[in-house]
Homo-oligomer: A and B are copies of this chain.
Amino acid sequence: MREVFHQSLEELQSGLVEIAELVATAMEKATTAFGTSDVTLAEEVIDADSVIDERALALDELAIEILARQQPVARDLRIVVMSLRVSASLERMGDIAEHVAQLTRMRFPERAIPKGLKSTFTRMGELDVALARDLAELLRTEDLDLAERIRNADDDIDELHIAVFEKVLSDSWQGEASATVDATLASRYHERFADHAVSVAKKVVYLATGDWAADPPA
């Protein structure tokens, strides 16, 4: 019985790692699609999002089943609660990758990536992907250095987010309204993606350290 219980807990943790990896791949493809106006790749990301949604849902069901049947305590309980809170953020990160892909599809055959911001968005995408991969690794290993790296990447993304607005609101900006809308949305998506990762990382830190109180809700 205890063995079945611990198998379930391991399943929960490995399930979160898998979803984080799917999310990283989704953002990687979405970034490439956005940068190269590759509508086929964008559609692949859009189609694949339902897999992330289903995985998150299945994991929540497993978490609830563990709570109901096993009535875990202490660290075991914290793992289950962490999973219930983290799965929603991971699922949301998948949605955001899908939104980046949808921007690409919406503008096709035009380029979604606004002129003069190509390198900025490429960099934001790369940072988001790296941060999602670090998140998967953090969920697997609870290596808290990774949480620090995620926070730093989030700071870099926030700076790029501000740079996008400075560009768009500068006198030199010649983009049409559609380019302004796309830049605003794409930048906001990347920034939110990183925020969710930081929020997940915090929950893993508090799982490892046992300090829930300092954990701001996502």
Interface of A with B (CB < 8 Å)? Answer: 53, 56-57, 60-61, 64, 67-68, 71, 73-74, 77-78, 81, 84-85, 87-88, 91-92, 165, 168-169, 173, 175, 177-178, 180-181, 184-185, 188, 212-213, 215-218
Contact = CB atoms under 8 A, between A and B. Distances in A.
A177 B173 contact: yes
A200 to B, nearest CB: 12
A53 B180 contact: no
18 contacts: A53-B216, A57-B213, A57-B216, A61-B212, A61-B213, A64-B78, A68-B74, A84-B85, A88-B88, A88-B218, A91-B218, A92-B218, A169-B178, A173-B177, A177-B177, A177-B180, A180-B181, A181-B184
Given A81-B84, A178-B169, A217-B53, A60 B212 contact: yes
Contacts of A81: 64, 67, 84
A181 B215 CA distance: 32
When all copies of this chain in the complex are counted, the total is 2
A177 B181 contact: no
A73 B87 CA distance: 22
A212 B175 contact: no
Contacts of A73: 68
A192 to B, nearest CB: 9
Q: Which 7 pairs from chain A and chain B are nearest by CB?
A: A71-B71, A91-B217, A180-B180, A184-B184, A56-B217, A88-B217, A88-B218
